[in-house]
Structure 1
Amino acid sequence: MNSELTRYDATRLAELIRTREVSSVEVVQAHLDRIGAVDSQVNAIVTIDESALAAAKEADKAIGAGREVGPLHGVPFTVKDSIDTAGVATQRGSPIFKGRTPDTDAVSVARMKKAGGVLLAKTNLPEFSYWIESDNLLCGRTNNPWDLTRTPGGSSGGESAAIAAGMSPIGLGTDLAISVRGPAAQTGISSLKATHGRVPMTGIWPRAPRRFWHVGPMARSIRDLTLAFSQLSGPDGQDAFATSTAAFDAGMGRQPGRPLRVGWMTGPGFGPVDAEVRATVASAADALRGLGMHVEEVGIRHSKGTSLWTSSTACMSWR
């Protein structure tokens, strides 16, 4: 059973723990064993939280005592090493910050813990998150678990590789231009770059360009992203850009007769868009339309009135 636990998504693991079919200790230990078995080749994990098993034992005690628990209770999660974790080294992929250990959690980490998550480990990145591959002078290069000669992308490549390799069921990454979406695509997992300000950036490096930076969940299923985002979103009173109090349900609570509205676009942003990418996204739009959703091609206007497309790969948004 233990080896199978590393194949389940976070939602399933939470259910198994909540119903006492498995313990949080078993789940955490299974992922630690998986790290021990494969990370020497992948090099996605940079620091293990030595208190993970103790936290898992406390999670099991809460279940045994019949206490009310959060939606991620007892489930291990990993965190990109640019995101602060109390008592666990956060080195930002740089020799300059070797051994740096924060006193407090980033707000996103604190919210994952509040939902019951157990911090398992920190994952690799390029120095300061500034690159599209996950390699640095402090921890070395992360490899793609599907092909060790290839990259898992960046800057959240350590996170994507850890999840794809079964070392973690769910985790947190950050994104400016492609940093959760690119690695997810390159390792076959899912990720969400949320609307800026929906998830506070408090406790996340770098601070200066925060107005352009996003933090988002990474996982192996869409339902995990939905669950994590529901716990992560909302203002914290510290990040001035995080002001929205709108609830998020990813359309799960839609009433009959009110179809989900989907906008899609394939225009160039940072560069040209491949014809195959355009065709794939157009096909996806048609499929959603066939499911009864209201689907339309959209564009975003620049302040001067010229058309401005915000992505060099096609994207969709819904509400």
Structure 2
Amino acid sequence: MLQGFLRNNKNKFVVILIVSISLILGVSISNGYRNNKLYNKQTVMAKEYLESGNYNQAIESYETALTMKNSDKELLSIGLAEAYIGNNEYDKALEILRGHYEIDTGRIIKEKIEEVTLRKADYEYEKIISCGDVYFSNEEYDKAILEYENAKKIKSKEVVAYKKIGESYVNMKSYTLAKEELLEGLTITNNEELIDALKLVESYIMKQQYDSLMTKAKEFVYQENYEDAILQYKEAIILIPKETQGYIELAEIYTSRKRYEEAISLLAGINNEIYNEDIRRIYEKAVDLKEEEIKIQEALKELYDALESDKSRQFFFPERGY
């Protein structure tokens, strides 16, 4: 009888134990299902906020999801970082990613850190370039150059900053500095865009030198130092053969000094591409004056010959006295 009692109590205990375990498992499974459901809902909501551009709500949702049990820390950290990037908070994004990397040095998170670092550099570069552009548009070229120089420190092989510094110096008429900047950029970037910009700046430098020679020539003309003026004009013409003003002013000096043949020779050799009405006018004037000079010389020669002839007749046939 005692054995039966014990046996019955043992069976009851086993049943109670099984029921208790079942209840605990059921509650655990129910809680797990509920938690998993909440977690999925939270992550879906965070992703929707992120994709819709509601970054502050996305940040809040990702941070909440990260506190939940059995959450995918890596996936959520990446999502949270993207939300911060949406707000242009690159440093905060990198802080999140690096914090996770200290716990789990996985390949995906490492590549994400590298990607965000590059995106941060792009963002800061464009931001500084934009700031420089504002100064440039306001003609504050010194300040613009400082900003572009800062941009070069972030991305030294990007061509934009070099071009914009060159343009700033050109607008300041500091062509030599513009050339130096473009040469530096060309050496570092090897970008053909800078070759075209460099050619343009070199043309500005040549024009500046040309104008300087023309100014000196005019000063010599004012001083009536025509030979030195001619030398300056000739040098200017050699420097930029397609500039017409040097030909015109040199031809005018030749004409005023009655050096018509030199004026004619100079203007006759001009390329048809730059031949214009002023050149034609001076050329025709020089030709007319030369023809007039020839006629005068011929008339003088005839007169001289006639006088000489009269002298000869007087020598051979002297007048008789009565």
Normalising TM by the smaller chain, what interval?
Answer: under 0.3
Which structure dedicates a bigger proportion of its chain to helix? 2
Question: How high is the TM-score relative to the length of structure 1?
Answer: 0.21
Larger radius of gyration: 2
Question: How high is the TM-score relative to the length of structure 2?
Answer: 0.21
Higher relative contact order (CA 8 A, sep 6+): 1
